[in-house]
Structure 1
Amino acid sequence: MVIVPGVMADAQTWRPVVDAIDLPNPVITVNRRGRLPSGPLGPDYAVGVEVDDLRHLITSLRQQVHLVGWSYGGLIALEAALVQDEVLSLIAYEPVARPFGTKALAPLRKAAADNDFDQTVELVNTIVSGFATDYVAELRRSPAWPVLRSLARPLAEELAAINDYEPALSRYRQLNVPVTLLLGELNAGQAPYGTAFAAFADALPQARVVTLGGQGHLAHAQAPRQLARAITDAVVHAG
């Protein structure tokens, strides 16, 4: 199994999910560009670069894989699965695509230029995710804040890449492997994650849609065992 996290996440933040997955499969969680020990995004960074990185990783494993992607990682996983024969099944938890978080791009770029990653974490939680200021204030006091701050450096460029990229939605019907789409119950029909999810669900009528009860976009952090069960069930369902 190969897991592709989204923004402000890495292999360590997904470790509780991996530990709770009840399958014999070895699990690899990708530390994408911009996350140690991987290198920086690079001057020509784009979604296509991420897709190529993932394809190279899968090819290097020399075996078939169950592919899991969350948020931006879901978009990367879907695009890679279109052209990667080694994918056995695909699980995408609230993938995102353009237009997404466009109002946050300018202030995020300014925060990045100022090396103000506290501001970056605040902006992504308020302008992009739509969380209340009280929630963000509580988050700032929690042990999660320094972790998020450390992962915030590539965020502005990643968000720009998402908005510069046109996903191949019209080709998703051609995916001939089992696909499971995971949706947090709290995001159903709600911007930004629920509305982004709807576009992928429309493009993948063959997909099995599973709702994560009581969850939003952050089940990997807030309900890792529940998310692990959904991933386990999806792989078992895929056969």
Structure 2
Amino acid sequence: MLVQVVRDGVVLALSHRSGQGRPLLLVPGVMADAASWQPVVDALSTDQPVYVLNRRGRRPSGPLGDDYSVGTEVEDLCRVLDELGTDDDRSGGVDVFGWSYGGLIALEAARRHAGVHSLTLYEPVMRPFGLQALDALRQADEAGDLDRAVEVVNRDVSGFSAEYVTQLRRSPVWQALRPLAAPLARELAALNEHAVELPGYGSLPMPVTLLLGGDNEGLPPYGEPFARISAAMPRARVRVMPGQGHLAHAQDPRTLARFIVEALDWAHRKDPSVTAGHE
């Protein structure tokens, strides 16, 4: 089921699984939309209503817009939080999960919006990130070459092998990735233009769980920004997912769903004043 929220004339579409009580909102990063996160939603063993945001630039949501920035995404998310928190039985706020770029957007929104009850963040990223690929992505964007954009993000940002990309190109997944690459150059540019105030993350009052794929611990491109963010958030609980990388939503959605539910259970019991730490 799809629901729509409108901000300044731009439609923001969300998938919706019905449930009871406080909503859970998933915020995907680049090269992903609600459809690609549906296997995780299907595996979530929670009775909460679950929403997945199709961020702007993903159909059926509206376009990025002329003045696109991380601030645009944050304002969008705050508008969605306003809408999801209006029902009487949802006065306790919204549980927010963010992945990658979506994790950064969720962090920034949590600094501004009082309706975030808890945060679960899977390898959030921050600048500098993927700068070595930005020129190639801009060239692919100018040429309208979505195949090249998919190749660049997998090879030059995520660091996958040429063999992996060749196999990916032969799979049905490639056709799903092509339209998701359309906003990629502008999203990556916006990420790298956004100045992060790390100390502000450390003062967030809600329970926070940071999820890290064990294969990325301490390694670029995802482990390094994770380490910087987690160091700035000493009260956050860090959970390592053994054997996982950055794409558990696609490669092992059941395991990721289990870690998300565990984080929600912990958050619902959590006193935010208690130091959690690495597990």
* TM bucket normalised to smaller: over 0.9
Task: Say which of 115, 128, 153 aligns to 1:124.
Answer: 153
Structure 1 partner of 2:240: 211
Deviation at 1:224, TM superposition (A): 0.3
Determine the C-alpha separation between the residues in 1 that align with 2:251 and 2:257: 12
Task: Say which of 121, 132, 154 aligns to 1:92.
Answer: 121
Task: Say which of 234, 250, 255 aligns to 1:226.
Answer: 255
Paired-residue identity, %: 56
Structure 2 partner of 1:42: 65
Quick one: which amino acid aligns to residue 204 of structure 2? L
Q: What secondary structure sits across from 2:139 in the alignment?
A: helix
Deviation at 1:98, TM superposition (A): 0.3
Determine the C-alpha separation between the residues in 1 that align with 2:242 and 2:124: 18
Aligned length: 239
Q: Deviations over 1:97-121 (max 9, x none)?
A: 1000001111100001111111000
Structure 2: runs of 5+ lacking an equivalent: 1-23, 269-279
The two structures have a TM-score, normalised by structure 1, of 0.99
Q: What secondary structure sits across from 2:220 in the alignment?
A: coil
Structure 1 partner of 2:31: 8
Q: What secondary structure sits across from 1:69 in the alignment?
A: strand
Q: What secondary structure sits across from 2:112 in the alignment?
A: coil
1:28 and 2:57 correspond: no
Structure 2 partner of 1:183: 212
Please, what is the CA RMSD of the aligned residues?
Answer: 0.7
Q: Deviations over 1:143-199 (max 9, x none)?
A: 111111121100000000000001221111111111000000110011000011111
Structure 1 partner of 2:166: 137
Determine the C-alpha separation between the residues in 1 that align with 2:197 and 2:77: 17
| Higher relative strand content | 2
Q: Deviations over 1:14-45 (max 9, x none)?
A: 00001111111101100001001111100000
Determine the C-alpha separation between the residues in 2 that align with 1:210 and 1:105: 31
Determine the C-alpha separation between the residues in 1 that align with 2:41 and 2:259: 12
Q: What secondary structure sits across from 1:181 in the alignment?
A: strand
The two structures have a TM-score, normalised by structure 2, of 0.85
Quick one: which amino acid aligns to residue 172 of structure 2? P
Task: Compare relative contact order (CA 8 Å, sep 6+) and give the higher one, 1 or 2.
Answer: 1
Q: List structure 1 segments (4+ residues) > 3 angstroms apart after TM superposition.
A: none
Q: Deviations over 1:212-235 (max 9, x none)?
A: 111100000000000000000000
1:193 and 2:216 correspond: no
Task: Say which of 128, 135, 150 aligns to 2:179.
Answer: 150
CA contact (8 A) 1:79 1:168 kept: no
Determine the C-alpha separation between the residues in 1 that align with 2:168 and 2:242: 22
Determine the C-alpha separation between the residues in 2 that align with 1:166 and 1:25: 34
Q: What secondary structure sits across from 1:25 in the alignment?
A: coil
Structure 2 partner of 1:167: 196
Q: What secondary structure sits across from 1:217 in the alignment?
A: coil
